[in-house]
Amino acid sequence: MQERDVSAHDMLSLVMAIAMAVMYGPVAAGIFWVLANVKEEKQTENSIVVRVAAKETADLNRELKDAMQKGMYYVSLDFGKDGQPMRTDTMQFFATKPEAQEHNYLRRTADNEYMVAYPIQPLQQQLERRIELQQLTGSPGQEPKDITIDTGRIVFEERARREVFTEEISRQLRERGIQPNLKQLSENITDDKLQFEITGSRREQGVEKPQVIRIEQNEDRAFLIRSIEPQQQQKIMGYMESKVLEGTVRREDALEIKNMLQEEKANGNRFVAFPAEPGGLKKDDLTAFKSSFAALEHAYENSTDRDRYIVRSITVVEKEINHLLENKKELEKPKENEREDKRSRGQEISR
């Protein structure tokens, strides 16, 4: 029975590698094949085998499918204790990985319950394969047995997915003459964000021109390039982009936020919660707290399918605001020097 299970996985890996070759080229397919087919001994060593009670397998499979249809991408699970089956009654579904991780942190801190977050799609696919395998190999009239899920397999498949799309997106951008920020690309793909922006540069007429690349996931969890625009458009609007704040902020608002953070620190607060706001963060968006738990609880309660709240320490936000303001001054210096040069040339011409 074990031999059939492994061969079924090998066949699936082959099919997925062929699909990768058709969609993204032989390089992507090669990376996927190598990473998805590591030695079985290493997988077993790093795996957490989870047991699903036989009477719950069909319902669990259906719940996972329904969650994906509703736009959920991650599930938080309690794997059970002392060899007990997984507790399906404690499952929680989330649209993003950070939301699931925040939920797990709160459960561990408040209730001392250890939860684990996994992407729904590979979990559901492995469960369905195990159900089908049991039906094929079981005898007529035999009672169904508990099913085991190898989470180590999911971890390695996710690693393969990250490597494939990091390489593929960077290759597509280089073909368009753009050198992307690989650190930003890798971090965002690792965080499994549904949509994000990275910076890059394109050489035109001997000059490096900054670009903004927008990347999104489709329903099959494939990362795709949606748009490429010159970064100057954002600077004209007066917005400063920040990865720490997961959005943008205007210079005027940054100054107000800086003063507000200083006041909150004086009042004994150490953390702030605020929405990930791509349209521009403002002072009133931030709520200060004395503990990280209170801030995370506020973020969890206010996050929705469309609006996601994040938590940062006041010290980190303060450093980021100062960094943005300093960079803004550096960007404005060449413009001031350019105006001085024009005035000097104008005076020389008039003389």
Inside any domain, residue 174: no
Residue keyed to tokens 């390695």: 156
Q: Are residues 18 and 140 in the same domain?
A: yes
Q: How many domains does the chain have?
A: 3
- The reported pTM is 0.56
> Residue 295 carries which side chain, given as an amino acid letter?
A
3-class secondary structure, 269: coil
Q: Are residues 349 and 223 in the same domain?
A: no
Q: Are residues 227 and 89 in the same domain?
A: no
Q: Are residues 12 and 115 in the same domain?
A: yes
* Tokens (6 digits) for 348: 């020389």
Q: Are residues 63 and 154 in the same domain?
A: yes
Q: Where do runs of H (alpha helix) occur along the chain?
A: 2-24, 26-36, 40-46, 57-69, 97-111, 120-137, 151-175, 182-190, 232-237, 251-266, 292-302, 314-350
Q: Are residues 95 and 7 in the same domain?
A: yes
Q: Give the whole-angstrom CA distance, residue 51 versus residue 308.
A: 33
Q: Are residues 188 and 155 in the same domain?
A: no
Q: Are residues 51 and 116 in the same domain?
A: yes
- Contact between 213 and 173 under an 8 Å Cβ cutoff? The reply is yes
Inside any domain, residue 172: no
Inside any domain, residue 85: yes
Which residues pair with residue 75 across a beta bridge?
93, 118
- Contact between 285 and 271 under an 8 Å Cβ cutoff? The reply is no
Q: Are residues 146 and 61 in the same domain?
A: yes
Q: Are residues 81 and 150 in the same domain?
A: yes
Q: Which domain holds residue 323?
A: 238-351
**Which H, E and C letters describe 176-245, residue by residue?**
CCEEECHHHHHHHHHCCCCEEEEEEEEEECCEEEEEEEEEEECCCCCEEEEEEEECHHHHHHCEEEECCC
Inside any domain, residue 205: yes
Q: Give the whole-angstrom CA distance, residue 215 versus residue 9.
A: 30
Q: Are residues 58 and 109 in the same domain?
A: yes
Q: Are residues 123 and 208 in the same domain?
A: no
Which residues pair with residue 148 across a beta bridge?
51
- What tens-digit pLDDT sequence spans the chain (351 residues)? 333 344 444 555 555 555 555 555 555 555 555 454 443 333 333 456 778 888 888 899 999 999 998 888 899 988 766 667 777 788 889 888 888 888 888 777 777 778 888 999 999 999 999 888 888 887 777 787 888 888 888 888 888 888 999 999 999 999 999 999 998 899 889 888 888 889 899 888 888 888 899 999 888 889 999 999 887 544 444 567 777 777 778 888 889 999 999 999 999 999 998 887 656 788 888 999 998 888 888 888 887 766 778 888 898 888 888 888 887 554 444 444 445 555 555 555 554
* H/E element, 88: strand 87-94
Inside any domain, residue 79: yes
Inside any domain, residue 66: yes
